[in-house]
Amino acid sequence: MSSEILVVDDEAPIADLVELYLQNEGFTVHKFAAAVPALAHVKASPPDLAILDVMLPDMDGFTLCRTLREEHLFPILMLTARVEDMDKITGLTLGADDYITKPFNPLELTARVKTQLRRYTRYNRPPQEEALEFDIRGLQISRETHKCFLYGQEVSLTPLEFSILWHLCARQGRVVPSEELFEAAWGERYMDSNNTVMSHIARLREKLREPSRKPKFIKTVWGVGYTIE
């Protein structure tokens, strides 16, 4: 089932352009030129993500954002011609997840929509769909406490290191590509020239006291990715 995207913008050419690019990516788009009918639609059928213009004829986008946040957690992206830093801060403070100014690159907008949907899906998945902790040969990691222990001693991990290790543990026995690890931890599209995953894996191995030649936990499958067997 395709994700439902709400677009609220009274500039028809802009709304049509956003709709075209999102539909090309398989999204279902619901367009509105004003806030009130958009709110009525959300009440009847909440979307998976909303794109809101700040300047609307019946209600400013900030107020619309705040109203939506009273009952809904789906990602909100502010799309506006206003570039002042205070406007950006206001939108983010009221609950917006991202902010992009006009004129914009439709491909960038589409990429940001995908990023926000990935993050929302990852962090708002029902608890019963995933284990809350793993214990792999003395390596214990808990999503509930966000802590990691190695043979009973706590290992201090950064949020990114924790996300990488958790993703590997949750897929124990499977080779996880670097692209998947990067997109799971950073929520952004992987670039071929990016060696960020490799450097974070190296730091993780140091913290887990892994020998470089024969690691016990995180193993490299050359040309493919990483695995915890």
The helix (H) or strand (E) run that includes residue 200 is helix 196-207
Q: Which of 108, 81, 99, 98 is nearest to 22 (CA)?
A: 108
pLDDT value at residue 187:
76
Q: How confident is the model at residue 129 (pLDDT cuts 50, 70, 90)?
A: very low
Query: Six-digit token pair at 149?
Result: 């222990």
pLDDT value at residue 194:
53
Q: Is the pLDDT of residue 155 over 50?
A: yes
Over residues 13-20, mean pLDDT: 95
Q: Is the pLDDT of residue 136 over 70?
A: yes
Helix ranges (H only) for 12-145 are 12-24, 35-44, 61-69, 85-93, 106-123
Match 């608890």 to its residue by tokens.
127
User: How would you list the strands of the sheet with 176-177, edge to edge?
Assistant: 176-177, 225-228, 218-221
Q: How confident is the model at residue 12 (pLDDT cuts 50, 70, 90)?
A: very high
How many helices (DSSP H) and strands (DSSP E) are in the chain?
8, 12
Q: What percent of the chain has pLDDT over 70?
A: 87
Lowest mean pLDDT among 84-88, 164-168, 181-185, 209-213: 84-88
Query: What is the β-pairing status of strands 28-32 and 4-8?
Result: parallel
Q: How far apart are CA 131 and CA 118, in angstroms?
A: 19
The answer to whether the peptide bond before residue 127 is cis (omega within 30 degrees of 0) is: no
pLDDT value at residue 148:
93
Give the highest mean pLDDT range of 54-63, 72-81, 131-140.
54-63
Over residues 156-185, mean pLDDT: 87
Over residues 149-174, mean pLDDT: 89
| Residue scoring higher pLDDT (88 or 56) | 56
